[in-house]
Amino acid sequence: MDPNPKKPNIPTPDSAISNGSTHSYSLVPDEVLEKVLSLVDSHKDRNSVSLVCKNWYNAERWTRTNLFIGNCYSVSPEIVARRFPRIKSVRLKGKPRFSDFNMLPRDWGADVNPWVVMFAKVYPFLEELRLKRMTVSDESLELLAKSFPDFKALSLSSCDGFSDDGLNAIATHCMSDLFPFEESVEVAQIMVEAVADCNSEFVLRCREISVSNVKASSEEGRYSTEKSMVSFLSRFSTSWTYSKVVLLDVSFLEHEKRNLTELNIQDNGTEDIGGGWLSCFPDNFVSLQVLNFASLNSEVSFEALERLVSRCKSLRVLKVNESVNLEQLQRLIVLAPQLTELGTGSFMQELTPRQYEDLEISFRNFKDIQALSGLWEVTSLYLPVIYGACAGLTFLNLSEAALQSVEFSKLLAHCPNLLRLWVVDTVEDKGLEAVGSSCPLLEELRVFPADPYDRHHRHGVTDSGFLAVSHGCRKLHYVLYFCRRMTNAAVVTIVQNCPDFTHFRLCIMNPGQPDYITNEPMDEAFAAVAKTCTKLQRLSVSGLLTDLTFEYIGKYAKNLETLSVAFAGSSDRGMQCVLEGCPKLRKLEIRDCPFGNAALLSGLEKYERMRSLWMSACNLTMKGCMLLARKMPRLNVEVIKDEESDDSQADKVYVYRSIAGPRQDAPPFVLTL
Amino acid sequence: MEVLLEINDHDLNLKATELRLGLPGSEESEKQSSSCVKNNNNKRSSSEMDDPRLNGESGQESDHTPAHKAQVVGWPPVPPYRKNFLKKKLESEGSGMFVKVSMDGAPYLRKIDLKSYKNYFDLIKALENMFKCTIGGFSEREGYNGSEYAPTYEDKDGDWMLVGDVPWDMFITSCKRMRIMRGSEAKGWSCM
C-alpha cells in the first residue's frame, strides 16, 4: 500500500544459488511462510516483506488481515480488493488535517460509501472499521450494520455526515445471527463431499438449497445484492471451508463474542444528532465493551442507557455526553465499577450532602480506572468527589473543564501516576507549576486555550508555566501548548530538560509574534528543538520565524515525519531547506507563508515519498501547480478554488501521491491538474 | 517603539472617522487576513495591525477594550468540536436570540434571531429587506442621519437605545426587542 522505495538488503533466490548457498527462499514452503507472516502485524514491516520477491508478495497479501490507508484517495477500493482478499480490520483516513479548522469547503469528499460497498462484497468477515476525517452517511452506516455478521468495532473520529438514523441501524443490527451462516457452511461441506463422490443427486440437492437460501438471505438484507452473495460463496476454497467449519464450532460456544463490542464516536462536529439510537440496542445485547458518545449532542434516553450498562458486564470504557447529569452518573457508575475509562457527563447540578457522599464512594470503588474525562461545568465544590479514583489514574482529560489553579493543584496532589494530562489554560502558570511538582511521570501534556480569539483577555499560560513543567516532568515527550507569549530562552531550557520530545506542537496564538522579551524571531527556539530532540517525529512551529528556522529543521530533524507551519518563513529558501533536508518527512502542511512556485517545485521527487502536502494562502500560482502536475504524473495536484480569489492564484493546494489516478468524485470547486 | 505606536494611532483614527457600522476592524476580518499574508515580509506590521497594545507592552493588561482583533480563518488551530465548550464558558447561554421587531406604521411585528447575524451591517441589511426600507449607514456622530428610519432597541435596563453604539457582542446580549422608528421623530432623535 505504501510504496517503500527502500530496497531490502536480502539476496534473491538466484544470487543465493549462485553463491553456492543451499538456502533459497523458494524452498520455504508456502504454508510455513504464511504461518510466519501471519504473526507480522506492523503494516510497515508487511510492506517491506511484500517487496522481497513475488512469492513473498503473494504470501503477504493472503495473510494480511489489518488494512491501514492513511489517505483514502491514494488508492481505490478496487485496487485494494484485488490485492488483499482477507481483510478483517480497516483503518481509513480521509480529509487533510486542516479540515478540522474550517479550511476545507463542505462536500470536499472523503465519502466512505464506495469503501463500505466494496467491503460488503469482498470482506464479508470484516470485524473492525476505524475512520478518521471521513464523511459517513446514514446509508453507509446502514449498509455497514447489515453486511458483516462478525462486526465488532466501529470507531468514528472527526467524521461527519451521519445522524440518528445511521446510528439506529448500527444499534439495531449489533448482534449476528449465527445459524443461517452455520447452515450455509454445512451445505458447502456436503456439496464438496458429494462432488468428490460423484453423487449427482446430492450435488443437485445442495445447489437447490443454496439457491433458495441465497434469495432468502438477500431478502433479509444481509448482503447487498444476490451477486455479492454469489461472489461471496465463490470465495470458499476447500481447506478454507473446513477451517471455517472448525472455527464455527468453537465460536458457537462463544456466541456473545461475535457481536458488537465497540462503538466509539470521537471529536464529532457540532451537528445536532438525535438520541434515539441508544434505545435501539436489543434487550438481549450484552457484549458491549466500549461505548463513547461524549462528543455527540444527542439527548439519549437515560433509562435505555442505564439498562444497557447494567447488562453489559464486560463494559470497560464508558464516555457519556453532557446530557447525563450527576445523579444519573451515580446510577451508572454503581453498575459498572469495573470501568477502566470513564467520561462523565455534566457536573452542573446541585447535590444534597447524601448524594455527594454517594458519588464520592462510587468513585472510590473504581479499582481499575485509568482514564477520566468529561467533567463539563465542574466547579471547585464538586471536583473533590473524583479524588478517590485518582490514585491509579494515568490519563486525565480536563479539556472540557475550565479549572482555576487552586482547585487544579489540589486535584493533582491526588494524581501522582499521571502519564497524560489535558487541561485548559485557565489553570495558568501557577497550575502548571503544580503539574511539575505533582506529576513526575508525566509523558504528555496538552494545554488548550479557553479564549483563542482573545475576546476576554485572559492571561492563559506563558513560557514560565511550560518551563515549570519541564523542570518537574523529565519524561515529557508529547506537548501541545497554546500560549500568548514565549521566549527563545525558555524553549532552549525546556528541551534541555526534556530532550526526548517526539511531538512538539507549540502554538503562539498571535501570528508572527516574536520573543516577547528580546523581540527577536523565535528561530533560536525551534533550532534548539530540532537539534536537541533527536527523536522528534512531529513539529508545529509558530511565532515570528525566518528561513533560519527551516534551515535548522532541514539540517537536524532527521526523524521528522509531520511538520505544520503557519505565518512563518521569509522566502522560498525556507521550504526548500525542509524539502531537501528531512528524509522521513511524510506530511507537510503550510498556511500563510511566503513560499512560492520555486519552493513548491524544489520538492518534486520528495512528494512521491510523502503522504501529502498542503499549502494555503501562500504565493502559489496555477502555472506553478500545473508544472508540478505535468512533471510528476503520479501525484494528484488539487487546487481548491475560492470564489473570491483571482484565477491565476492557487489559494489552496493539496498534493498527494496516488496509484488510483485523479479523483472521480471531485466536487466542482476542486480542480485536479 | 513610540514611533510605531504613533503610526498605529494614525491608523485607528482613519478607521474611526470612516462612515460605517460596527467597530473599527470588525468588518475587516477577511481583508485583514489577506493583508496578513501580503505583509509576511514585514511581520511587525501585520501583528501590530492585530493589536498594537499587546505587542508594545510587556504583558500589561489594558483597561479599555482594544481594537477588535482581526479573526483569521482557522487560526488559532482549535478544532471545531471545542467551539461548543468555548461558547458556553465565555459567552451567554441561550439557544437562539429571537427578538421582536416593530416598525412604525406596519400592521404586525416580526421576529428575528440576533444570533444569525455576525455584525451590525448584516443586521441592518436584513431589516431593510424585511421591512422594505432604507436605513443606511451609521456614524457615531450623526447616527442614521439622512435616513427616514432609525433602528432602536430596548436594553436590559428598559431604556431605548440607538442601534450601533456598542460592540456587536454586547448588543446581542442586551437587546430585548427592537423598534424601527420613522419620520420626523427619528430624524430629530438621531441628531441629538
8 Å CB contact of B74 and A617: no
Q: Which of A97, A47, A93, A55 is nearest to A74 (CA)?
A: A93
8 Å CB contact of A511 and B36: yes
8 Å CB contact of B83 and A617: no
**Residue B167: inside a domain, yes or no?**
yes
Q: How far apart are CA A440 and CA A476, in angstroms?
A: 9
The CA distance from A188 to the nearest CA of chain B, in Å, is: 50
DSSP B139: B
Of B61, B71, B83, the CB nearest to A270: B83
**Residue B44: inside a domain, yes or no?**
no
**Residue B62: inside a domain, yes or no?**
no
Q: Is the pTM of this model over 0.90?
A: no
**Residue B51: inside a domain, yes or no?**
no
* CA dihedral sign of residues A526, A528, A531, A537: negative
Q: Tell me, what's the pLDDT at A640?
A: 92
CATH number at residue B165: 3.10.20.90
**Residue B54: inside a domain, yes or no?**
no
With cut-offs at 50, 70 and 90, classify the pLDDT of residue B46: very low
Higher-confidence residue: B28 or A482? A482
Q: Which of A509, A464, A451 is nearest to B54 (CA)?
A: A509
Higher-confidence residue: A496 or A272? A496
**Mean pLDDT computed over A494-517:** 96
Write the DSSP string, A644-664. Answer: SS-TTB--EEEEEE-SS-S-S
How is residue A624 written as a grid cell?
506553478
With cut-offs at 50, 70 and 90, classify the pLDDT of residue A518: very high
Domains: count for chain B: 1
Long-range contacts of residues A550-553, Cβ cutoff 8 Å, at least 24 apart:
A550/A574, A550/A575, A550/A577, A550/A578, A551/A577, A552/A523, A552/A526, A552/A527, A553/A526, A553/A577, A553/A578, A553/A581, A553/A582
C-beta atoms surrounding A29 within 10 Å? 8
Q: Which of A40, A87, A35 is nearest to A66 (CA)?
A: A87
Residues of A in contact with B50 (CB under 8 A): 510-511
8 Å CB contact of A100 and B77: yes
Q: Name the closest residue on chain A to residue B61, using Cα atoms.
A: A457
Residue B2 CA, chain-centre distance (Å), reads 29
CA angle centred on A458, ends A455 and A461, rounded to 5°: 130
Residues of B in contact with A511 (CB under 8 A): 36, 46-47, 50, 72, 75
Tally A–B CB contacts below 8 A. Answer: 110
With cut-offs at 50, 70 and 90, classify the pLDDT of residue B158: confident
Of B36, B61, B69, the CB nearest to A592: B36
Please state, rounded to an integer, the average pLDDT across all residues of chain A.
88
**Mean pLDDT computed over A112-126:** 94
Is the pLDDT confidence value at A223 over 60? no
Q: Tell me, what's the pLDDT at A221?
A: 45
Which three-class secondary structure state does DSSP give residue A550? helix
β-strands A635-640, A670-672 pairing? antiparallel
Side-by-side strand order, sheet with B177-182? B110-113, B98-103, B177-182, B149-154, B160-162
Q: Are A623 and A645 in contact (CB under 8 A)?
A: no
Q: Is B96 in CB contact (< 8 Å) with chain A?
A: no
Task: Tell me the pLDDT tens digit for each residue of A384-428.
Answer: 999 999 999 999 999 999 899 999 999 999 999 999 999 999 999
**Mean pLDDT computed over A489-498:** 97
C-beta atoms surrounding A267 within 10 Å? 17
**Residue B177: inside a domain, yes or no?**
yes
Angle between helices A113-122 and A138-147 (to 10 degrees): 10
**Mean pLDDT computed over A344-364:** 92
Domains within chain A, CATH numbers bracketed: 1-64 (1.20.1280.50), 181-250 (no CATH)
Contacts of A228 (CB under 8 A, 6+ apart): A120, A121
> Side-chain half-sphere of A207: how many Cα atoms within 13 Å?
8
**What Rg, from alpha-carbon coordinates, does chain B have?**
19
**Residue B79: inside a domain, yes or no?**
no
Domain ranges, residue B173: 98-186
Q: Tell me, what's the pLDDT at A151?
A: 92
Of B58, B61, B169, the CB nearest to A457: B61
Contacts of A530 (CB under 8 A, 6+ apart): A536, A539, A552, A553, A555, A556, A557, A560
**Residue B60: inside a domain, yes or no?**
no
**3-class secondary structure per residue, A234-260:** CCCCHHHHHHHHHHHHHHHHCHHHHCC
Please name the residues between 490 and 509 in chain A that touch chain B, using a CB distance below 8 Å. 507, 509
Q: How far apart are CA A189 and CA A576, in angstroms?
A: 63
* CA dihedral sign of residues A294, A296, A301, A304: negative
Q: Are A335 and A307 in contact (CB under 8 A)?
A: no
C-beta atoms surrounding A538 within 10 Å? 19
Is the pLDDT confidence value at B147 over 90? no
With cut-offs at 50, 70 and 90, classify the pLDDT of residue B116: confident
Task: Tell me the pLDDT tens digit for each residue of A298-317.
Answer: 889 999 999 999 999 999 99
Task: Tell me the pLDDT tens digit for each residue of A147-174.
Answer: 888 899 999 999 999 999 999 999 998 8
> Side-chain half-sphere of B128: how many Cα atoms within 13 Å?
12
Q: Which residues pair with A440 in a beta bridge?
A: none
Q: How far is CA A161 from CA A107, A145, A286, A318, A615, in A?
A: 10, 16, 28, 24, 26
With cut-offs at 50, 70 and 90, classify the pLDDT of residue A41: confident
